[in-house]
Amino acid sequence: MTPNERDLLKKYISFSLGTWFRALISFFTTPITTWMINPEEFGKATMFSTVYSILLLVALLGTPNSFLRFFPQKSEEEKPVLLWSSVMPPVLLSILLSLVVFIFRSSINTFLVGTPDSKAHVILIATLITGIFQTFNLNLVRSKGRAILFSAIQVIQSLSQMGFIVLYALLVSRDFYTLLYAQLFSNVVALAVGMLFERSYWFPVKIDKKLVFEVIKYGYPFVFSGLLLWLLNWIDRFVLRLYTSFSDIGLYSAAFKIVSAMSLLTTGFSTLWYPFAYEQYEKNPENTMIFKRTLDYVAFLVFSAGFLLLSFKDVIFLLLARSYRPAAEISPFLILNPVMMTMAIVVARGIDFSKKTYWFIVSDGVAALFNLAGNSLLVPVLGAKGAAVSTGLSFIIVFAIESSVSKKLYPVPYDLKKVYCLVSLFVLSAALHTFSENLLLPVISSVFGIFVTIFAYKSEFLKVLSIGMEFLKTTFHRK
């Protein structure tokens, strides 16, 4: 293993500790939630999250991308000004969106929770504003490379959310408001912690009007690709709302929550990989092997985790309340989301390096259209299972387009044949886990997938195991 590869792996382990703990907390939070809140109420909370995510995406206006891009270029005196110059446009836009939400509150409440008489719109506005600040809170800490604080904020946000859910459900009520208030409360707590440690950046408030326009100019194109990516990720919930009940949405969301624990590992990797990849390209663009080797390691890890999750999905879903157990059959294809997107994060960097980022709009757009068509056709027939199948397959399309385009723009000797062989095996296993009535055959297929993955990436398996053991020994030795 080269020094760069070893350094990347160690940095990933160090920087993503909070993400792993967050995934663990999320893994236990979902079963606790299902024992306290029924699927119908869970489905209403999911529709709230759906609308919140699109409003947050629009309000941010791509400014977090601008902040990450400009931060290394600014001096220490200029960085607080950059922060507020990046925050102000989303805050002003969120006020405008809040007025729209308030004017159409009856229709929005009916869509969100099934009744016009609800406080959901008020919580939506408050969560939107705090969500904007929390986004920049994390990006500031991330840009400064403060891995421990970044991890701590993530853990604190997850713990505060779980604690609020339990207390509110036990002391007040067990309805969708529990999850809505928990999201808002966790935003506030995490934001307070981040601002406390980085108060020199947050206070006093300083804004540069010229810089504001630069931030908007650079960031707004990301809204379009972001909207397509949002459509890809959330269209299933909208189609389910049209054809099914809140209970079905609740089951589907419970399945997604379990899978999201693995998605958090994707988030942790992307946090480190983007700056590392750009740095390596700037230093030596001819060194393509670092990207090839990274895909090999990542493919081994995500396929191993994916097949493992498939193998134990029925055991995992036993932790949920009995009314949520059918979600186990919905989850298999959803695992393709973190599997394919984590690998896409690696292989798509050639699109960035060549500055032809419109290809992200193409990949997300094609996949979103496929997902919309697939959901429209399959949900009326298969319900939530159909949504999962369509959504999972759409992420394969994203990977296929971005990997092929990126490889042409920045030639890297990726072993994509090996990847697609494992993808085919995973799809077959996911289909058996979703539709087969035989209890043993699906498990055999996913266990077989684990062994095939280890055999295909034998070298990476041995090296990851070696570095992991070395990291643990070093950590305990320091203590």
Q: How far apart are CA 107 and CA 101, in angstroms?
A: 9
Q: How confident is the model at residue 11 (pLDDT cuts 50, 70, 90)?
A: low
132-143 burial, b at 16+ Cβ within 10 Å, e below that, comes to bbbbbbbbbbbb
323-346 burial, b at 16+ Cβ within 10 Å, e below that, comes to bbbbbbbbbbbbbbbbbbbbbbbb
In tens, the pLDDT along 107-120 reads 999 988 888 889 99
Helix (H, G, I), strand (E, B) or coil at 438: coil
Angle at 411 between CA 276 and CA 290, to 5 degrees: 35
Q: How confident is the model at residue 458 (pLDDT cuts 50, 70, 90)?
A: very high
For residue 18, pLDDT beyond 70: no
CA nearest to 430, candidates 364, 339, 295: 339
In tens, the pLDDT along 281-325 reads 878 888 889 899 999 999 999 999 999 999 998 888 887 777 887
- Tell me the angle at which helices 246-283 and 221-243 cross, rounded to the nearest 10 degrees: 160
In tens, the pLDDT along 203-236 reads 989 999 999 999 998 888 778 878 887 888 778 8
Q: Chain-wide mean pLDDT for the chain?
A: 87
Q: How confident is the model at residue 460 (pLDDT cuts 50, 70, 90)?
A: confident
In tens, the pLDDT along 136-158 reads 999 999 888 787 788 889 889 98
CA nearest to 132, candidates 191, 220, 80: 191
In tens, the pLDDT along 155-202 reads 899 899 989 999 998 899 888 899 999 999 999 999 999 999 999 999
In tens, the pLDDT along 409-448 reads 999 999 999 999 999 999 999 999 999 988 899 999 999 9
Q: Quick check: 325 and 318 in contact, CB under 8 A?
A: yes
In tens, the pLDDT along 251-263 reads 888 887 777 767 7
DSSP 237-265: HHHHHHHS-HHHHHHHHHHHHHHHHHHHH
